[in-house]
Amino acid sequence: MNTSLWIHLFLFPGLLFAVPASWFYVWGEHKATARIQRRIGPPLLQPVYDLVKLFGKRTPARHGIEANLLRLWPALSVLSMVGAIAMLPVFPGGPGFAGDAVILVALLEIPSICFILAGFTSGSVFAQIGAIREAILSVACNVVFLLSIVTIAVTGRTFHLSDLANVTSNPGHWIGVFGILLCIPAKLRLNPFSTSSAEQEIYSGALTEYAGAALAMWKLAHGLEWVALTGFVATMVVPAGGAWWVHAILFVAISFAEVLLLSAVAAATGRLTLERSIRFYWRWAAILAVLSISASVYARFRS
Amino acid sequence: MNILRLIFDNLRRGTVSYPMPHTHLCTSNQYRGLIINDPERCVGCSQCAYVCPSAAIEVTRSGDNYTWTYNPSKCAFCGRCIDRCKPRTLTMKSQLPPLYSTQDELKQVLNMVRKRPVRPAAAAAGTAATANVTAPIAENAKPAEPMAGIPRKEDLA
Amino acid sequence: MNLLQRFMHRCRRKSPSLFHLNTGSCNGCDIEMLTCLSPRYDVEQLGIHLEGSPRHADILCITGPVTRNALEAAKTVYSQVCEPKAVVALGSCAGSCNVFAGSPVIVGPLSKYFSVDVFVPGCPPHPDAIVAGIQRAAEILADRGVPEKAKGVPQR
């Protein structure tokens, strides 16, 4: 294993950058929402306080396979998100392999699956409702997500992330990026697609039975999802060329700009019901399907 | 596009929140806070206890000594006692009632002696009424005798 | 207290998460509690936020005189809040049943069944009083989480 891989995994954009960045992005979301609502909002270190406090809670004793499963799902989410962030093509010419876009998509999908499974493992009615909503919504949302990835890959003619990051002159690329941006609110459970973790409506959704350190892991996984998804779009948007530190700064800046944009959309909209959310995504799936098929046909016959 | 204008205006106009923790708690001088009883002026009529809807005020008496008890944990801060109090003894603080940690921590107990009403001109008024019927009635004079011919209740019983 | 305990104390004090429980209140106290989250008072600047599940919360804010039907639910919710926890009795109904004392469906003020840490008087309490009560409960909670021998002050 070369040092480049270790740097990517643990330093930037790996663990050492991703965890503080997740705190910063979550704070940014709360602060932006607050300012849009003419409130003051939480202090900068609030996500840190929330996380550390949860580690100090004495959780109820659970026994058997259920206890271990309940602890497995958040741990799996955190690990897959760290892996996904490490795979992001921030620097030109980083460690990667042909077809690693597929692995990235798979890793980005794992927290959603873990959320659903956690809801069903919890054994509480509210958790099951949250899990069912997340399952139905993620099916609809993933169709759009995968079609966007396919559009980007087909118009860029490769599944290698580093090459995809350098493509900028393709309209198909931008259609795909727009499609990914559309999916992010559903994946992050933000308004208007926050029906699966509807605050207070179904108590806490799939995470109702979680407490203490496992809940802290879920919050960490959620923050890392922010970093991974906004970072993915940022790497697709950052133009090629320039020094490595320009890439790094642009990566962080564009990710944070996306955080502010998504917070503004979340503050401005209300929660859509499940039926409306999936209807929205299936409409966009239809449009993107048409666009990606025509783009791939065009690319096939042009070459 | 209204929402865009709204967001932009909100960001431009800034926050409306009180920065917490704020040092002076903003209550107007008509805020209904804790009841204060002035032991000098209280006459022990116990009308406040009579009208209190939650029995926060209790008055017990034995002879001329009476005890006025007020339990703010039961108080609904409605102000009926203030409205009813004839000697205008009871007043309300205009600050927030304080937090407490044990059940009866804020109970106030006042032990008072009932004050007899003072009638400084009573002796002079008694002699003036019988001597000179055209004199103006003194302020604390005894009530006049009932008219002749109408039986009094005591005669009938 | 060593550094880690002091840090944990600070985190617990700065991030009180509430769970709000209504045991038969007229909703006046609940509305005033909601006002605390509104832009005018904005308790999010102190880190206070409402949680959806009792297992996620530290501080249980209970309003209302405890009605017969709500008692079992209140006991269940109380057992679901994870240690260290604090209980705040909001309003004078929670403190002493207020005007409803003696009613056949009211089984008595909260202090009969739970150990209440802070009582916030008022009918309804002013949002400033509610915030002060929650902050005091967060202090009590943070002190409760520190092991006895680590505290420097002698116990009363």
With CA atoms as reference, report the closest residue to C62 among C72, C80, C74: C74
C-alpha dist (Å) from residue C110 to C52, C64, C97: 22, 9, 9
Give the pLDDT confidence score for residue A170 in this predicted structure. Answer: 75
Contact with chain B for residue C89, Cβ under 8 A: no
Give the pLDDT confidence score for residue B58 in this predicted structure. Answer: 92
| In contact, C97 and C106? CB cutoff 8 Å | yes
Please provide the average confidence, as pLDDT, over all residues in chain C.
89
- β-pair partners for B109: B69
Residues of A in contact with B17 (CB under 8 A): 38-40
Half-sphere exposure (Cβ direction) of C114: Cα atoms closer than 13 Å: 29
CB within 8 Å: B54 and C92: yes
Query: What digits encode the pLDDT tens for the residues B16-34?
Result: 888 887 656 667 888 888 9
Query: What digits encode the pLDDT tens for the residues B27-75?
Result: 788 888 899 998 888 888 889 999 999 999 999 988 888 899 999 989 9
Give ipTM to 2 decimals: 0.89
User: Which of B3, B16, B19 is opposite residue A38, by nearest beta carbon?
Assistant: B16
Structural domain contains residue C36: yes
- Region C139-149 average pLDDT: 84
Q: Residue C47 is part of which domain span?
A: 12-147
This prediction has a pTM of 0.86
- β-pair partners for C21: C62
Contact with chain C for residue A119, Cβ under 8 A: no
- Taking CA A232 as the corner, what is the angle to CA A228 and CA A233, rounded to the nearest 5 degrees? 125
pLDDT at B141 over 70: no
The per-residue b/e assignment along C61-76, b for 16 or more CB within 10 angstroms, e otherwise, is bbbbbbbeebbeebee
Who wins on pLDDT, C136 or A299?
A: C136
The Cα A25–Cα A239 span in angstroms is: 23
Who wins on pLDDT, A160 or C32?
A: C32
The order of strands in the sheet holding B108-113 is: B57-62, B65-70, B108-113
With CA atoms as reference, report the closest residue to B42 among B56, B62, B59, B63: B59
| Pair of tokens at residue C107 | 């089984």
Angle A125-156/A171-187 helices, nearest 10 degrees?
Answer: 170
Q: What is the pLDDT along chain A (303 residues), one digit of tens a residue?
A: 577 777 778 888 888 999 999 999 999 999 999 999 999 989 999 999 999 999 989 888 887 778 888 999 999 999 999 999 988 888 877 677 777 889 999 999 999 999 999 999 988 888 999 999 999 999 999 989 998 888 888 888 888 888 888 776 777 788 889 989 999 999 999 989 988 887 777 788 888 889 889 999 999 999 999 999 999 999 998 887 778 888 889 999 999 999 999 999 999 998 999 999 999 999 988 888 888 778 777 877 776
Q: Is B124 helix (H, G, I), strand (E, B) or coil?
A: helix
Angle A125-156/A100-122 helices, nearest 10 degrees?
Answer: 170
Query: How many distinct structural domains can be found in chain C?
Result: 1
Confidence class of residue B118 from pLDDT cuts 50, 70 and 90? low
The order of strands in the sheet holding C49-50 is: C49-50, C17-22, C59-63, C86-90, C118-120
Structural domain contains residue C154: no
Give the pLDDT confidence score for residue C149 in this predicted structure. Answer: 62
Structural domain contains residue C6: no
User: Which of B7, B17, B19 is opposite residue A36, by nearest beta carbon?
Assistant: B7
CB within 8 Å: B15 and A39: yes
Residue A181 to chain C, least CA–CA distance (Å): 28
Q: Hey, where are the domains in chain A?
A: 3-302
Residue of C43, C88, C92, C141 to mutate, interface with B, max B Cβ within 10 Å: C92
Percentage above 90 pLDDT, chain C: 69
Task: For the domain covering B26-137, report its CATH number.
Answer: 3.30.70.3270
Confidence class of residue B133 from pLDDT cuts 50, 70 and 90? very low
Residues with Cβ < 8 Å from C65, sequence gap 6 or more? C23, C24, C25, C93, C94, C97, C98, C100, C101, C103, C106, C108, C109
Q: Is A298 helix (H, G, I), strand (E, B) or coil?
A: helix
Who wins on pLDDT, B126 or A199?
A: A199
Q: Hey, where are the domains in chain B?
A: 26-137
Residue B69 to chain A, least CA–CA distance (Å): 42
> In CATH, what number is assigned to the domain containing residue C136?
3.40.50.12280
B–C interface: beta-carbon pairs under 8 A: 87
Give the pLDDT confidence score for residue A241 in this predicted structure. Answer: 75
